[in-house]
Amino acid sequence: MMELKVDLGERSYPIYIGEGILDDIVDLFNKHRISKLSPILLVTDDQVAEFHLDKVLELLLKGGFQVVSSIIPAGEKSKSIAQFEDLITVAIESGLDRKSTVVALGGGVVGDLAGYVAASYMRGIAFVQIPTTILAHDSSVGGKVAVNHPLAKNIIGAFHQPELVLYDIATLRTLPERQIKAGLSEVIKHGFIRDADFVAWIDHNAYKLLELDSEALEFALYHGCRIKSIIVSQDERENNLRAILNLGHTIGHALEAVAKYNGLLHGEAISIGMVGAARLSVLLGNPEHIYTETKRILRKLGLPIQLPKQLDIDEIMVAMMHDKKFDSGRMTFIIPTEIGEVEISNQVTLEQVSQVLEQLKQEE
Amino acid sequence: MMELKVDLGERSYPIYIGEGILDDIVDLFNKHRISKLSPILLVTDDQVAEFHLDKVLELLLKGGFQVVSSIIPAGEKSKSIAQFEDLITVAIESGLDRKSTVVALGGGVVGDLAGYVAASYMRGIAFVQIPTTILAHDSSVGGKVAVNHPLAKNIIGAFHQPELVLYDIATLRTLPERQIKAGLSEVIKHGFIRDADFVAWIDHNAYKLLELDSEALEFALYHGCRIKSIIVSQDERENNLRAILNLGHTIGHALEAVAKYNGLLHGEAISIGMVGAARLSVLLGNPEHIYTETKRILRKLGLPIQLPKQLDIDEIMVAMMHDKKFDSGRMTFIIPTEIGEVEISNQVTLEQVSQVLEQLKQEE
Ligand SMILES: NC(=O)c1ccc[n+]([C@@H]2O[C@H](COP(=O)([O-])OP(=O)(O)OC[C@H]3O[C@@H](n4cnc5c(N)ncnc54)[C@H](O)[C@@H]3O)[C@@H](O)[C@H]2O)c1
Ligand SMILES: NC(=O)c1ccc[n+]([C@@H]2O[C@H](COP(=O)([O-])OP(=O)(O)OC[C@H]3O[C@@H](n4cnc5c(N)ncnc54)[C@H](O)[C@@H]3O)[C@@H](O)[C@H]2O)c1
Ligand SMILES: [Zn+2]
Ligand SMILES: [Zn+2]
């Protein structure tokens, strides 16, 4: 088992990563003083529930915890105000109090939604993440929690750090292949932002990762989390630096919004977004290989690099302007300046963006 | 103009109190760097709008600010998830960005709702309070923001400190008489908690306060805010000490919930709750005059001291158990041990509570 400390002063917490560590859940909960006197709200989705809920429930109940579980429908659509309200109702009806804990068992959707419930219920109660997707390595660092609005993703939320994150690689074995690839998109994003060596390592180990090799995965998740945690520690509330984590997300979020949270997985949208950012980079005068390498490695991981032809460019542009990253009338892009390095730029014109979006439709 | 600094480290902010200081709004906004490049969302209710919106809008627009105003229906019912969602929609559609500010012009309802929008939109943007009720002196200190759930008051919320509070006594002159009295209930609550001299002063100046004498009001609001701010500075997140501010609220909130946020004003419910807490105090062995004095002064301020006879005691008991203050299976009460002193108690039995509720129906 590897342990990574996310360093945030009095809000610091550990991420435990390893094969089979769900078996240690009771010990870890005890170690972190998760209350046994107050009910726990365990949130998961119907797909994750099928594979992993019974085990978690059994362990916790045996360990002396009171647990109420709530199963939401799988998928991004559940990250809604309506679902948020339902969970709050369950929390009230189940008698959750200020010493209670919300536990998220699932991917980023369950994590973000349950996390926002934890952040808001009684103005904030304890929160534990048990990520079950590769992509959720990203959401398990940094405390961003949120739900979507029909007009914009993640627009309603908070910063709420968990007490601990318990990341059992064994749970990833039930993931559909497409989800594995989509998850690796955010792993390599962390390399593209800060660590050329990590990108090279992923390039070299791409097939092992796609096969969910235990050791490779532990290494990749640890490093992905580590890079993010270093950045987040320096800028918890995203005043500035933390924005670099949004590489690929300006375009990516807009694609998701226009595709109405259907059709494209988050990691897939981000993959296309990273190719777009690399193209913008070249347009701004950076070397061509940033674009070709970005594209080559993403393709090797089985990720999409082409903008779906049926999506309307103007709609995507409008969605981008609704995005949080559209600040004081300027669009903000994270631009790679080399493999493993990025900068925050306000220099990109609307025209350049729509040009790149057109080009993204032609990628092969 | 008086200025009170609420001391919360990097989240510190000033409360400006004075007759006619709305005229200085542009200067104060400039001083506190409220952005002119990003739209302001100004939230108010339909009653406050009638008297005060035009002036605020005109001043801000003249001062070069971009303002979108949104008028909600007056009343506690607007502190709902549905209203919250509507305001978020307005915020998105009006292009609010991370540098935008939400301004609350109104009483505690507008403040709590708009504050929760500010806390949640893009995970938190700037917030300014312009309280227009006496009661809102309470909500302008401490950063508690929230909406209600049909099953429990203030159950969904956050801590979100404003950039500044602008408290113009002139706006209070349009308040209905009943609202004035209800507001004074929370002012004297601060005296009951911490300051016997302030209670004596209020007792002495009760009629001036009820007539909205400018000087008396400025003094009372300043001192009410000051007492609260000292307590909040010591315990921002209500881990412990801050709970004493809930004097009268365990019973009071339950009354409001059972009366379905109708029929009883918050300050009125709290008045009855304070009489209840004083009765519990005597039941626990404290001197009788705590109860008789509490009751006498509240009555002098024109506040209700009797539990409405049609409310069902069992329903009130259930509502209390749903309350945030019902922690790990124990009911928490703030009990006066003298006029101007309180303690936090877990010693009260359910039987004592229902006995006191019965007695509260007999008060005269
Ligand atoms: N908070 C953050 O910092 C942050 C960072 C990145 C992404 N996100 C959010 O995360 C979300 C995407 O996360 P995600 O890709 O994990 O989505 P997800 O939670 O929807 O999971 C993807 C799918 O896999 C299924 N699944 C999950 N675990 C499984 C398992 N072990 N076995 C079988 N099926 C399983 C789910 O039921 C779902 O259908 C987005 O909403 C995104 O905004 C948040
Ligand atoms: N956040 C906190 O710390 C805190 C503290 C105390 C109370 N509260 C909350 O505050 C709310 C009660 O506040 P309130 O009593 O101010 O309620 P309110 O905002 O509903 O105002 C009371 C009524 O007076 C009207 N009004 C307001 N200002 C007026 C003016 N200047 N002239 C004419 N009419 C005016 C309003 O339209 C409303 O009808 C409750 O929801 C309570 O939970 C919050
Ligand atoms: Zn992402
Ligand atoms: Zn109150």
Average pLDDT over residues B194-201: 97
| Closest CB to A123 among B123, B158, B329 | B158
Q: Which amino acid is at A117?
A: V
* B112 in contact with ligand 2, CB cutoff 6 A: yes
For domain A177-360, give the fold. Dehydroquinate synthase-like, alpha domain (1.20.1090)
A43 bridge partner residues: A70, A104
Please tell me the predicted confidence (pLDDT) of residue A85. 98
Q: Where are the domains of chain B?
A: 2-174, 177-360
| Closest CB to A328 among B38, B81, B329 | B38
Average pLDDT over residues A328-339: 86
Cα–Cα distance between A102 and A86 in angstroms, integer? 14
Please tell me the predicted confidence (pLDDT) of residue B9. 87
| Closest CB to B81 among A81, A144, A158 | A81
A98 touches chain B (CB under 8 A): yes
Please tell me the predicted confidence (pLDDT) of residue A255. 93
B93 touches chain A (CB under 8 A): yes
Q: Which amino acid is at B146?
A: A
Q: Determine whether the interchain pair B124/A155 forms a contact, defined as Cβ–Cβ distance below 8 Å.
A: no
Whether the full predicted model's pTM is greater than 0.90, yes or no, is yes
Using a CB-CB cut-off of 8 Å, the residues of chain A touching B98 are: 324, 327
Band (A364; pLDDT cuts 50, 70, 90): confident
For domain B2-174, give the fold. Rossmann fold (3.40.50)
Please tell me the predicted confidence (pLDDT) of residue A322. 74
CA of B147 to the centre of ligand 4 (A): 14
Band (B324; pLDDT cuts 50, 70, 90): low
Among all bound ligands, the one having the nearest atom to the CA of A180 is 1
H/E element, B168: strand B164-168
**Which residue's CA is minimally distant from atom 9 of ligand 1?**
A108
Band (A237; pLDDT cuts 50, 70, 90): confident
Cα–Cα distance between A340 and A345 in angstroms, integer? 16
Average pLDDT over residues B263-289: 96
For residue A54, count other CB atoms closer than 10 A to its CB: 10
B343 bridge partner residues: B335
B144 touches chain A (CB under 8 A): yes
* A45 in contact with ligand 1, CB cutoff 6 A: yes
Please tell me the predicted confidence (pLDDT) of residue B219. 96
Judge whether B364 is annotated as a binding position: no
Cα–Cα distance between A143 and A236 in angstroms, integer? 8
Cα–Cα distance between B131 and B225 in angstroms, integer? 12
Per mean pLDDT, which range of A35-39, A329-333, A343-347, B117-121 is the poorest? A329-333
Judge whether B266 is annotated as a binding position: yes
A99 touches chain B (CB under 8 A): yes
Band (A262; pLDDT cuts 50, 70, 90): low
Band (B257; pLDDT cuts 50, 70, 90): confident
Using a CB-CB cut-off of 8 Å, the residues of chain A touching B99 are: 327-328
- Does A257 score more than 90 pLDDT? no
Pocket test for ligand 2, best of B44, B109, B116, B235 (most atoms within 8 A of CB): B109
Band (B325; pLDDT cuts 50, 70, 90): low
* B171 in contact with ligand 2, CB cutoff 6 A: yes
What is the per-residue pLDDT across A78-117, written as a single tens digit (0 to 9) for each? 999 999 999 999 999 999 999 999 999 999 999 999 999 9
Judge whether A249 is annotated as a binding position: yes
Cα–Cα distance between A123 and A254 in angstroms, integer? 30
Please tell me the predicted confidence (pLDDT) of residue B321. 84
Band (B237; pLDDT cuts 50, 70, 90): confident
Q: Determine whether the interchain pair A157/B92 forms a contact, defined as Cβ–Cβ distance below 8 Å.
A: no
Distance from CA of A158 to the nearest CA of B (A): 4
